[in-house]
Amino acid sequence: MPEDIDPELEELRKKRREMYVKQADEEKQRFGWPDTPMVLTDANFRETVALYPLMLVDLWAPWCGPCKMLGPVIEQLARELKGKVVFGKLNVDENPQTASSFKVMSIPTMLVIKERELVDRITGAVPKATILQKLQRFL
């Protein structure tokens, strides 16, 4: 450990991380691993992403044709990858804060979030195989 890091502060950080992990495990047991995309909002985004080790979040809008084409693919992947990846959908018209915080300029955009960190981004209505290929790197 570097000299400039306070051991007490590090111990507090460690305890807090353990507390978050325990809370997330309890939430997962309560809610399980969904096999359909979860509805995400500006209000529940951070808490939901913190619950699961790997999420793919589809940022979409009801008026977007390519988003509508991608919807059934996301639903199918949610069933097929249950227990490995949790899928979420965030309507950017109703939830502009989250979309803005990730600098989303076009939709559909899919965010791959691992351990609460953005690790990849997929833009456009891409084929199912492309999404699977991107996710495989993080499984």
Residues with a catalytic annotation lie at 64, 67
HEC profile of 47-63: HHHHHCCEEEEEEECCC
Q: What backbone torsions phi and psi does residue 104 show, to the nearest 5 degrees?
A: -80, 120
Integer angstrom CA distances of residue 128 from 73, 122, 124, 138: 6, 12, 12, 16
Return the exposure string of 19-46: e unless at least 16 CB atoms fall within 10 Å of the residue's CB, then b: eeeeebeeeeeeeeeeeebbebeeeebe
CA distances in angstroms from 3 to 7, 47, 95, 108, 137, listed in the order given: 9, 34, 43, 46, 36
